[in-house]
Amino acid sequence: MRSFVILTAALAVAFLSADAAARERAEIRCVMHLHSDYTRAGNDTLEELVVKARAAGIHAVIPTDHASASFEWTPFPFAALLSLRKEFPSIMFSSPEKYLIDIARLEKKYPDMIIIPGAEVAADYSWSGSPLSGDLIVKGWHRHMLVVGMEDPDDYRNLPAVGITGGASFEPIMFWPVFLIIAGYGFLRSRPRRGLALFLCGVVLLAGNYPFKSRRADGASASFAGKNVSRVLPTASPSDAGPYQALADYAASRGALTFWAHPEAGNNEEFRSGLPPALPPVKVRSVTEPYPEMLRSTRDYSGFAVFAEGYRIAGAPGGLWDDILLEYCDGKRPAPVWAVSELDYGGDSFGAPIDILQNVLWIEPSLARPTKKDILRAIERGSFYALWKGKSHGLRLKDFYVEGSRGSRAIFGGSVISDGRDILAHIEIESSDAVAAPVKITLIADGKVVGIIETTAPGRIRHRFSPPRQSRNNNKAGAIKGYVRFIVEAGYPDTIATNPVFYTSEAAK
């Protein structure tokens, strides 16, 4: 049964505990999903992004320029003659070597900043309509994942992504013009004109099909580690997650992290793309519907962007994220999925400061000077909370832990042991401008809201609760795994979403 507990600020004070002072830890503020002029002319340079973040008190920056930004309509079998292509600036357009060298140069110039290379990647798209009828639509082109932590230029060249042929699979059928060449050669003596026409046509078509890899108008394909993981997206099924699963698997094979970007954001824009020079430009609409269900359809990725385009459906209490976390607790997924904040920031045109959406990592105090590996390890383990702050102030967790039995305590991403009794949540909140503000804390355990606490920041609360799974199974034998997470709100947009703390309860036998 769902239990809602409404506590006033006065009641919260009753839970104050003098012996629960904040434990020492290094707090690393990280911003993710930034676009430099590698993605769009007029954006900030990589250095300008780093300087702005540094001035705002950010310690780690994860730029994620587009790996490749292009779409191509190539009607089979006339790809060489009637292809339509649109390409925008990207890492591949400039070169991954240059991108990584620029980041390495900035790391040396600003040794107090941690800069982790990343890329925003589209793994597939589909087409509908026709240039002849003027209703050509590229669908799903803005369905993106963020790949974080790849340091080798070849890893970018071999991404299973649209516009990157290095990751495309070899297609023998692309050699079909050879038959025209053979037929033309056979006719050269008996019918020279026809033979020459067939021969030249075959040569042109064969050259246009080079490098003989998948360039199909209805999807992208991918291969890595010598294995073909191609899964072409049919026009009729734009929700097929296969190419994105291939992308997540590829990133994992390279030691990188992957995050679903803006899963609840749609996109609708129009371009003019050129066919061969003799034909006029063609109008192309790009339409991408929100795709939160892709979180459920894919596995083995690191997380998703809860802020600012993932909290209404995926991150809501009882939403997709909770379903996925329960799948992990039930052993149906090998690892949990974490929630991050992403910026999609390119400069002043963003209309908000560079620190408005942050990931606040908690690092062991022994790491006096955390390295890039330490930051990636903390993100991989979920040892952080996602923050969406106002333009002038924001919330901060001064202290936080969940306490189980036998003295077990854990922060986000960790685990505690429970002997079937209530679990204790300890939360200490403050406001960055030190001004008192009303705060609402929502406790979500095992996908259900188990408490709503109304208090004031700055303030500290200690709240005991019984997770639904534990309550239902107290009289059953066997271990029970569940989780608890928290949403802290102080009025839009000031919000914190913590990553979960897991519990394992050994039920009475």
Dump pLDDT digits (tens) for 8-67.
333 333 333 323 334 567 899 999 999 999 999 999 999 999 999 999 999 999 999 999
pLDDT score at 23: 55
**Enclosing H/E stretch for 155:** helix 153-157
Task: For residue 350, give the DSSP letter.
Answer: G
Q: Which residues of the chain have pLDDT under 70?
A: 1-24, 76-82, 165-171, 208-239, 274-280, 365-368, 392, 472-478, 507-509
pLDDT score at 499: 98
φ/ψ (deg, to 5) at 305? -85, 105
- How far is 210 from 82, CA to CA, in rounded Å? 15
What angle separates helix 192-209 from helix 177-187, to the nearest 10 degrees? 160
pLDDT score at 78: 62
Domain range summary for the chain, segments of one domain joined by +: 1-23+395-509, 172-209
Average pLDDT, the chain: 85
- How far is 378 from 413, CA to CA, in rounded Å? 9
- How far is 261 from 288, CA to CA, in rounded Å? 13
The string of DSSP letters for 472-499 reads HTTTS-SEEEEEEEEEEESSTT-EEEEP
Task: For residue 166, give the DSSP letter.
Answer: G
- Tell me which amino acid residue 185 is: Y
- How far is 196 from 181, CA to CA, in rounded Å? 9
For residue 24, the tally of other CB atoms under 10 A from its CB is 8
CB burial of residue 492 (10 Å; 0-12, 13-18, 19+): exposed
Half-sphere exposure of 340 (CA within 13 A, CB side): 32
- Tell me which amino acid residue 32 is: M
Dump pLDDT digits (tens) for 352-375.
999 999 999 999 866 568 899 999
Query: What's the CATH number for 1-23+395-509?
Result: 2.60.40
